[in-house]
């Protein structure tokens, strides 16, 4: 999976700060558990990650520098959201298809 520059900065930051990682781990689990499907969870996480990125851009030097370099225009965090869901949640078992449920 390829992350854009902003997503990579945020992912690295989360990985390097234990409290932030635990916060996002819990948030990802809560959102995925409370969602009807993964695409809905990813869409919600995309927005949450962007709001967090904007908030950090005012106070954390690496984010301040990124905001100066890349601007403050909204950037998709969908790839990061999908990556965190895959990384931190158990895959849901697939329902057996009609063809595979028939005995030979």
Contact 84, 45 (CB under 8 A): yes
The answer to whether position 34 is within a domain reads yes
The answer to whether position 32 is within a domain reads yes
Contact 48, 75 (CB under 8 A): no
The answer to whether position 69 is within a domain reads yes
The Cα 84–Cα 25 span in angstroms is: 8
- pTM (predicted TM-score): 0.84
The Cα 54–Cα 64 span in angstroms is: 9
The answer to whether position 57 is within a domain reads yes
Does residue 87 register a pLDDT over 60? yes
The answer to whether position 95 is within a domain reads no
Residue 93 pLDDT level (bands cut at 50, 70, 90): low
Does residue 100 register a pLDDT over 70? no
The answer to whether position 36 is within a domain reads yes
Q: Which residue has the higher pLDDT, 93 or 58?
A: 58
pLDDT of amino acid 102: 56
Number of domains in the chain: 1
Using alpha carbons, select from 89, 82, 97 the residue that is nearest to residue 2.
Answer: 82
The answer to whether position 101 is within a domain reads no
The answer to whether position 56 is within a domain reads yes
Residue 91 pLDDT level (bands cut at 50, 70, 90): confident
pLDDT of amino acid 97: 65
Cβ neighbours for 91, distance < 8 A, ≥ 6 positions apart: none
Q: Residue 51: which domain range?
A: 5-89
Mean pLDDT over 91-96 rounds to: 66
Mean pLDDT over 21-40 rounds to: 94
């Amino acid at each position: 999976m390829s992350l854009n520059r902003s997503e990579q900065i945020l992912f690295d930051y989360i990985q390097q700060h234990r409290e932030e990682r635990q916060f996002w781990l819990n948030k990802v689990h809560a959102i995925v558990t409370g969602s009807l499907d993964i695409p809905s969870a990813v869409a919600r996480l995309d927005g949450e990650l962007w709001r967090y990125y904007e908030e950090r851009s005012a106070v954390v030097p690496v984010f301040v520098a990124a905001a100066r370099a890349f601007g403050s225009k909204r950037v998709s965090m969908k790839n990061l959201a999908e990556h965190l869901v895959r990384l931190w949640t158990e895959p849901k078992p697939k329902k057996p298809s009609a063809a595979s449920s028939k005995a030979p």
